[in-house]
Amino acid sequence: MIIGIGTDLCDIRRIEESIEKFGNRFKAKIFTEREREYCESKSGSGAYYAKRWAAKEAVAKALAGPRTKSLSWQDVEIINDPSGRPSVILRRGALRRMNSRLPDGHKGRIFLSLSDDYPYALAYAVFEAVKKTGV
């Protein structure tokens, strides 16, 4: 059962400008070490940072409830499997929020899709509750 969806569109140029202006301070505040290593390994790293920014926003929207507040940027980490498919790791407040929104006897899954076409990066997230087996 789908609990929430979220989408975000980000202007890559805005992220590039923030990186230019604030450098590593900006990167360290928003992105995990693993995210920074991944983005820095890519040519045109601004687009990769922007996709992760949009993904964090989309995930936060998918997890949001009527009275939820903002999440820490560091509590949502975007990773890629060897094929390049993106996925989400939730920590601390983001993980607590997901678990608080799940019906009894269910576990949560988040599906994520990322795309970019300069100057825009797009993310789409679906938060699904899946019945636990053997419960």
Query: How many domains, in total, are found in the chain?
Result: 1
Residue 134 has pLDDT above 80, yes or no: no
Dist CA 122 CA 64 (whole Å): 19
- Cβ atoms of 35 and 52 within 8 Å: the answer is yes
CATH code for position 117: 3.90.470.20
Range of the domain at 63: 2-131
Residue 127 has pLDDT above 80, yes or no: yes
Dist CA 95 CA 66 (whole Å): 17
**Mean pLDDT, range 84-113, rounded to an integer:** 95
Residue 135 has pLDDT above 60, yes or no: no
